[in-house]
């Protein structure tokens, strides 16, 4: 991982406008998300960023929704396209795992369509019993939308 990368779990350090643009315009899972919804999601989560040590620019964002006792869901992991290939994804995941580890959580979950290799490096595995998991889609979302 690049030594010029700085991890932060300080919500106040996050560039909210940049994060919203990334997610609402460039991600496959949050395209069209409103700024209001993004700010509410951030307010209810632990927020993480990776920043360029040189210019302070935010290079990645992720958040964890957790009760801080038993479970966490990692969401909205995004690395700026111009920063990919520099170890930014590894740096943010290492920071998240280090932040959550002291909580002694029973499970940490996430969803990915294309980054299995990255997450496997941090101990994530595909579900062994997916039939045990259930999902309820919100109105206007999901396969029937």
**Tokens 């700085």 -> residue:** 6
Residue 59: which CATH number? 3.40.630.30
Domain membership of residue 18 (yes or no) is yes
Range of the domain at 56: 5-123
Confidence at residue 58, expressed as pLDDT on a 0 to 100 scale: 98
pLDDT digits (tens, 9 = 90+) for 105-128: 999 999 999 899 999 999 999 999
Domain membership of residue 59 (yes or no) is yes
pLDDT digits (tens, 9 = 90+) for 21-50: 999 999 999 999 999 999 999 999 999 999
**Cα distances (Å, whole numbers) of residue 8 to 3, 51, 54, 116, 141:** 14, 8, 15, 23, 32
Domain membership of residue 112 (yes or no) is yes
Domain membership of residue 144 (yes or no) is no
Domain membership of residue 19 (yes or no) is yes
Confidence at residue 145, expressed as pLDDT on a 0 to 100 scale: 66
**Tokens 């992720």 -> residue:** 62
Domain membership of residue 107 (yes or no) is yes
pTM of this prediction exceeds 0.85: yes
> In this predicted model, which residue has the larger pLDDT, 102 or 114?
102
pLDDT digits (tens, 9 = 90+) for 77-100: 999 999 999 999 999 999 999 999
Number of domains comprising the chain:
1
Q: How many residues does the chain have?
A: 145
Domain membership of residue 135 (yes or no) is no
Domain membership of residue 128 (yes or no) is no
- CB neighbour list of residue 38: distance below 8 Å, 6 or more residues apart: 16, 19, 20, 23, 24, 30
């Amino acid at each position: 991982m690049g030594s010029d990368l700085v991890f932060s779990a300080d919500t106040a350090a996050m560039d909210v406008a940049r994060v919203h643009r990334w997610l609402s315009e460039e991600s496959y899972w949050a395209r069209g998300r409103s700024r209001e919804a993004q700010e509410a999601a951030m307010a209810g989560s632990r927020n993480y960023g990776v920043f360029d040590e040189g210019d302070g620019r935010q290079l990645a964002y992720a958040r964890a929704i957790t009760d801080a006792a038993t479970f966490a869901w990692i969401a909205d992991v995004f690395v700026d396209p111009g920063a990919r290939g520099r170890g930014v994804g590894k740096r943010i995941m290492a920071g998240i795992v280090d932040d959550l580890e002291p909580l002694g959580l029973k499970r940490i979950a996430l969803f990915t369509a294309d980054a299995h290799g990255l997450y496997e490096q941090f101990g994530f595995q595909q579900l062994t019993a997916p039939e045990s998991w259930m999902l309820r889609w919100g109105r206007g979302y999901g396969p029937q939308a």
